[in-house]
Amino acid sequence: MAGDLVATRAASPALGPLSAADPAWRLLTPFERRLLDDTRQEAPVWLLRCTGTRVDTGLWFRQARLWLACLEDRLLLFAYGPRPHGETLPLAACDGSLYNHLTGELVLAEAGAMTPRRTVRLAPADAHFVLTQIRAKERS
C-alpha cells in the first residue's frame, strides 16, 4: 500500500512551484540568478538543478556547468560566463524525450526526430520529474 502511494506521487506532475526557501536557489551565483530571472520573466520554477553537463561560455581553461530550470510550459538551460549560454525548449516540443540509464543523460528530443535537441547529464529522479512534466503537457 505504501509503495502504491509513492509510485502514484512520483508519476504525477509536480504539486507546485519551488518556494523561495528551497536549497536549490542558494546554489546559484548572483550572476546565474540574474540570468535565470531575466529568462524566466517571473514565471514560477518547478525544478532547478545544476546538471553534470558542461558548456563553453568563453572561460579560459574550463567550461561552465549547465543549469536546468523546469517551468510550467518550458525548460530553461543556462550557464553563466563571458558568453552566457541560454536555451528555451517548450515542453510540448520535447515529446520524444527519454532518459538513457547507461549514460545517465536526459535526451531532449522531438517525437520522430533523427537527432536530439540536447542531452543533459541528470540524476534519474530529476530526469523522471522532467519527463513527467513533459508527458503532462502532452495530455493537456
pLDDT tens readout for residues 85-120: 999 989 888 888 999 999 999 999 887 776 678 899
Please tell me the CATH code under which domain 2-139 is placed: 2.30.29.30
Q: Would you say the pTM of this structure is higher than 0.85?
A: no
* pLDDT for residue 92: 87
| Residue 125: strand, helix, or coil | helix
d(CA 114, CA 10): 30
**Phi, psi dihedral angles at 93 (to 5 degrees):** -90, 5
Residue 11 — very low, low, confident or very high, per pLDDT cuts 50/70/90? very low
Domain limits of the chain?
A: 2-139
Residue 15 — very low, low, confident or very high, per pLDDT cuts 50/70/90? low
* pLDDT for residue 16: 77
